[in-house]
Amino acid sequence: MPAALGRPRRSCLAVPGSSVKMLGKAQGLPADQVFLDLEDAVAPLAKPEARKNIVAALNEGDWAGKTRVVRVNDLTTPWTYRDVIEVVEGAGENLDCIMLPKVQSAGQIEWLDLTLTQIEKTVGLPVGAIGIEAQIENAAGLVNVDAIAAASKRVETIIFGPADFMASINMRSLVVGGLIPGYPGDPYHYILMRILMAARMHDLQAIDGPFLQIRDVDAFREVAGRSAALGFDGKWVLHPGQVEAANEVYSPAQDDYDHAELILDAYDYYTSEEGGKLGAVMLGDEMIDEASRKMALVISAKGRAAGMKRTTAFTPPN
């Protein structure tokens, strides 16, 4: 199970740093993670003021129970270094991660790691406490995703950025995150699986990108359900109406969670001295063994991270 699951990220809410009103509203929404944006959601002339808004919101706001992230601008722009310095120096003790968009190489993650280390040492923050989220948004990033995932111990997530990715490969669609009429399959399947493999190779979380038709919650559920089925840990949400849907889709169904906990309890019992030291045993009509335990651990961990409570209990046979 990925170590990064210590931070639930079923719903990752985007909030423009230029909107004081939205920065305030986001604090009361049930999103697992909130990322305060300095990149695409903020106009170039508004970026300096947005940095100040974000520092104030992190220091003065109530973000209890949420992972606090700031998305800086990408390293091809003139804003990135000021974003990192001002945000971390101003609010580093109230910040969990920095998200770097449009990551194309391991060297870009190494730059951010080194810069964070220098700032932490300078202002007296614990070195290494601030994590990194890497967003993959073009062909170079996907080709190099394994090296990106391994570039720093700070990396916690690999994120799919569909809009820029679609543009970078000349994909013929204007519907971000949805299926393409006329294409007999899911055009994002390879991309999602490639990101998932790199993430799991290094015990990181994999996060799906946004669905822009923000008022169509049913379509959001359908799209989110595809990456959730693959094993993704969460998805970006752009509107409060998508938050509850994401939290539901990326949590196990209650029956699945209960069954996973039952398998863990039963396997623990039957492999014990009291249970007969059995490696494989029937649980009702199902045979369970070590592989079953590993699969159940995944579902159990997701359910526990989501705060789910079991409704069944294992009773050892007489």
What residues have CB less than 8 Å from 290, skipping those under 6 apart?
267, 279
**How many alpha carbons fall within 13 Å on the CB side of residue 13?**
27
Instruction: Identify the residue with better confidence: 308 or 102.
Output: 102
Average pLDDT of span 183-209: 94
Helix (H, G, I), strand (E, B) or coil at 251: coil
- pLDDT tier, 129 (very low <50, low <70, confident <90, very high otherwise): very high
Confidence class for position 176, pLDDT limits 50, 70, 90: confident
Comparing CA positions, the residue from 238, 254, 257 lying closest to residue 246 is 238
> CB–CB of 88/80 below 8 Å?
no
Q: What is the mean pLDDT of residues 186-211?
A: 95
Q: 208 pLDDT exceeds 80? A: yes
Rounded Cα distance between 108 and 134, Å, is 10
Could you give the CA distance from residue 235 to residue 161 in angstroms, rounded to a whole number?
Answer: 11
The more confident residue out of 201 and 279 is 201
Asked if 85 and 124 count as a contact pair (C-beta separation under 8 A), the reply is no
pLDDT of residue 4 exceeding 50, the answer is: no
Q: Amino acid identity, residue 145? A: V
pLDDT of amino acid 217: 95
Give yes or no for residue 3 having a pLDDT over 70. no
Question: What pLDDT sits at residue 52?
Answer: 98
CB neighbour list of residue 133: distance below 8 Å, 6 or more residues apart: 35, 69, 71, 97, 98, 99, 100, 155, 156, 157, 159, 207
Condensed to tens digits (0 to 9), the pLDDT of residues 250-298 reads 999 899 999 999 999 999 988 999 888 888 988 888 999 999 999 999 8
Q: Which pLDDT score is estimated for 306? A: 83
Containing 116, the helix (H) or strand (E) segment is helix 106-123
DSSP code of residue 126: P
What does the DSSP assignment read for 30-92? --SEEEEESSTTS-GGGHHHHHHHHHHHHHHS--TTSEEEEE---TTSSSHHHHHHHHHHHHG
Question: Given this model, what pLDDT does residue 1 score?
Answer: 38
Rounded distance between C-alpha atoms, residue 183 and residue 312, angstroms: 44
In this predicted structure, what is the pLDDT of residue 227?
96
Report the DSSP pairing between strands 155-160 and 33-37.
unpaired
Q: Residue 101: which residues within 8 A CB-CB, separation 6 or more?
A: 39, 40, 71, 72, 73, 74, 135, 137, 161
| pLDDT of 282 | 85
| pLDDT at residue 6, rounded to an integer | 67
pLDDT of residue 139: 95
What does the pLDDT look like over 73-128, one tens digit per residue? Answer: 999 999 999 999 999 999 999 999 999 999 999 999 999 999 999 999 999 999 99
Residue indicated by tokens 């949420």? 66
**Closest to 28 in 3D by CA, of 70, 64, 52, 68:** 64
Taking all residues of the chain, what is their mean pLDDT, rounded to a whole number? Answer: 93
Residues whose CB falls within 8 Å of the CB of residue 318, separated by 6 or more in sequence, listed in order: none
Residues sharing a CB contact under 8 Å with residue 307, sequence separation 6 or more, in sequence order = none
Higher pLDDT, 134 or 304: 134
Q: Is residue 215 within 8 Å of 241, Cβ to Cβ?
A: yes
pLDDT attached to residue 41:
94
Whole-model pTM: value is 0.91
Confidence check: pLDDT of 314 > 80: yes
pLDDT at position 2, please? 39
pLDDT of 34 above 90: yes
Q: Which residue, chain included where needed, has tokens 């159940």?
A: 296
Question: How sure is the predictor about 19, in pLDDT bands with cuts at 50, 70 and 90?
Answer: very high
Look at 80 and 301; give whichever has higher pLDDT: 80
